[in-house]
Chains A and B, each alone.
Chain A
Amino acid sequence: MTHFINLTLNGLATGAAYAALALSLVIIYQATRLVNFAQPAFALLSVYAALAVTQLTGSYWIGFAAALATGLTVGAAAERLVVRPIARVSPLNGIIVTLGMLLVVQGVVGMVWGNEQHGFGYAFSYVGRFSPADAFAVGAVAAVAVLLFLLYRFTPFGLRMRAAAHHPEAARLSGVRVGLMLTAGWAIASAIGALAGMLAGPPFLSPNVFDTVFVFGITAAVIGGLDNPFGSILGGMLIGLGGSYVSGYLGSELATLSALVIVVVVLSVRPDGILARPTARKV
């Protein structure tokens, strides 16, 4: 029984990181109808920036802030300079260019910091069944989710963002600067991605550290339904728990395959994700 509880808590904690990455992907998808494959690379860059700043200042939290700031900047720059001119012409090209950014950013990180592992001291200890680190992970993601919800639902800014995402033309006619909203969406999403990185990265960093998180994050976003931020939380937890149980009872090499099974099962029943809103197909 304790094993089960351990696995559950572990699954929730890892699930939180997946949920954060999934959330960042969903925000971008809602704003620009693109899956941003470069998101883990932006997170990677943000975490390495945090590493550099922490080494410089000796403070984890200043590094943490640096990570968020890097995420904001990189996300905004990517949307404005790279994605927008390309996605305008072809959405497929828009997705592929995010792959290009993934390669470039991850490669540059490897060039600058090398492929070996760097230790990154964590502010919370990992000791215990549900360690302070795990609690921080879950708490941070929950807090972000709530803040985002409040932002979107109850602020004029949130209304503008939603309008720009759902119906850019109507939003423009109401005076919303749609381009700015898109950039803001990418900036916020990438900051959340940076948070995911800070939760999933330590204690050891390497350029490939987010490869698995990336895949599970995308999977979580997809099964949750790309139109729904709550879906990404749900999806993240599902993948996290599923992977944890499978690792614990069946062996860790099967964790990825378990994700595959979950995806196949979920999408067979709900092809647009668990919490997707059924939209009528316009004929």
Chain B
Amino acid sequence: MSDKPLLQVQDLTAHHGAVRALDRVTLDVPERGLYAVLGANGAGKSTLLRTLTGLHPATSGRVTLDGEDITHLPAERAVTKGLAHVPEGGGVIVELTVEENLRLGGIWRGRHDPDTMAEVLDLFPPLEQRRGKPAGTLSGGERQMLAIGRALMARPRVLLLDEPSLGLAPMITEQIFTLLGDLRDRTWLTVVLVEQNAAGALSTTDHGFVLDQGRLAAEGASDDLLSDDRTRHAYLGF
């Protein structure tokens, strides 16, 4: 891993009305690797991702991507800077076909990119099979794959995933985590994973950040976090 962090978050604060959802969060995400953001419900995990991409306004603090300040960047510009976000539930547009959803992912670059499309379809055979079908006909697991595929179509540098395993059977979750690991190994992709399923996330990722009530409560190598009973009991519920 290179020593300058790709994504730097400094003293990031965000509010939901009067409530402080993020409280001076500071963390560094180096380039390349699989990172987990964990914590109980309402700890601020989703808010963190949404503030990073600009779906939610930051009250104060700084977010830097490869040296560039993206704190107040509007959400539609995020993907142009190399930041792809798969929101909670996937955000698949059910009225469009599988192919149209994928095309949408790459649309910011203008021309359609058949090579990237082929790569993504290769990665997710079920999507290739149902290429022309409306996305509404896909199963939960397939939709999550489509959501990830759409994000990959943008050829991002950083991939943010908000609870990819939500509502999915353990086997599918396993598949998705394995896939993310593969991506980490084969590409320079930096993946940040927000997960309720802490055990599963920690066993796949390299490094973890634990949020508690909007604050960064703990961080460390995933293996260390897994073996640290105190942290697990206090923040991760197992």
Contact = CB atoms under 8 A, between A and B. Distances in A.
Interface residues of B, number: 28
Contacts of A167: 91, 93
B143 to A, nearest CB: 12
Contacts of B154: 174-175
B137 interface: no
A177 B76 contact: yes
A270 B142 CA distance: 32
A162 B53 contact: no
A197 to B, nearest CB: 30
B107 A173 contact: no
Contacts of B84: 173
Interface in B52-101: 53, 55, 75-80, 84-85, 87, 91-96, 100
Contacts of B77: 175
B91 A175 contact: no
Interface residues of A, number: 18
Contacts of B85: 173
A169 B91 contact: yes
A129 interface: no
A175 B112 CA distance: 14
Interface in A154-210: 156, 159-160, 162-163, 166-167, 169-178
A277 B96 CA distance: 13
A152 to B, nearest CB: 11
Interface string A126-160: 00000000000000000000000000000010011
Contacts of B107: 156, 159-160, 174-176
A33 to B, nearest CB: 14
A172 B87 CA distance: 11
A272 to B, nearest CB: 15
Interface in A220-263: none
B33 interface: no
A254 to B, nearest CB: 39
Interface of B: 53, 55, 75-80, 84-85, 87, 91-96, 100, 103-105, 107-108, 110, 112, 150-151, 154
10 contacts: A156-B103, A156-B112, A160-B107, A163-B93, A170-B104, A172-B75, A173-B84, A174-B79, A175-B78, A176-B76
Given A160-B107, A170-B92, A175-B108, 11 more contacts: A156-B107, A156-B110, A159-B96, A170-B93, A172-B55, A173-B53, A173-B84, A173-B87, A173-B91, A174-B150, A177-B76
